[in-house]
Amino acid sequence: MRYDQPMSDPISSKPQLASSTGGLPSAVGWSQLLLTDRLRPGDAVVDATAGNGHDTLFLASLVGPQGRVWAFDVQEAAVLETRRRLAEAGFGETCAVIHAGHETMRQKLPEAFHGRLRGIMFNLGYLPGSDKSIITRTETTLQAVASALDLLADGGLLTVAVYPGHDGGADEQRQIAEWAASLPSRRYEVQLFRPINRSASPPECWVVWKRPV
């Protein structure tokens, strides 16, 4: 390195993967970082919780027009907003946004893609800007993540952003942790990303890699 070259301002040049406060990535940020490293144009992927469509658009941008994207949400407002966002970005014809719960993933996806998905994202909790009493439910979430592992291709990645701080979130986090810990290590590698020096209940990112056989 040449020391006569001006160094960038560490305050003004915010890292691309920083959180909104400039710190380390958020739970969703870790998910996106890992999926960006793994996904390629032409891959088939699922956004299991479409919400306002940000993750769906993120996945669509990674797999491109030659890829396949399915997104699920139980709220009509989320489905409409996701479709609008995709259409504005030019992905309206290449992504399927399904008005159904993520526990129906296996039934809704074409059988030809079972076991062929390269990435599946879950962003649990409630829809930002909407009724906070409408949240993902532990029972259906556990059904969905179990199905997701079957739908993943060997070498595929499952990410789950969990929010234990809202009503019902702590129970969902606890059961996701128990489910993840029970997965056989010969078939799956599981990692957890979370802050450890915060007094509140911080969001977590669970990542499951399906080992090739």
Helix (H, G, I), strand (E, B) or coil at 85: helix
The DSSP result for 120-173, as a single string, is: EEEE-SB-TTS-TT-B--HHHHHHHHHHHHHHEEEEEEEEEEE-TTSTTHHHHH
| pLDDT number for residue 17 | 67
The predicted-structure confidence for 72-121, as pLDDT tens digits, reads as follows 999 899 999 999 999 999 998 889 999 999 999 999 999 999 999 999 99
| pLDDT number for residue 41 | 97
Residue 14 within a domain? no
CATH of the domain at 159: 3.40.50.150
Mean of the per-residue pLDDT values for the chain? 88
> Which residue range forms the structural domain that includes residue 125?
27-210
Residue 2 within a domain? no
Q: Residue 118 corresponds to which amino acid?
A: R
* Number of domains comprising the chain: 1
Residue 66 within a domain? yes
Query: Which carries the bigger pLDDT value, residue 90 or residue 127?
Result: 90
Residue 156 within a domain? yes
Query: Which carries the bigger pLDDT value, residue 188 or residue 141?
Result: 188
pLDDT exceeds 60 at position 61:
yes
Residue 12 within a domain? no
pTM confidence score: 0.88
| pLDDT number for residue 87 | 96
Residue 76 within a domain? yes
What stretches of the chain show up as alpha helix (H) in DSSP?
A: 27-38, 54-63, 76-88, 105-108, 138-151, 169-182
CA–CA gap between residue 78 and residue 99 (Å, rounded)? 9
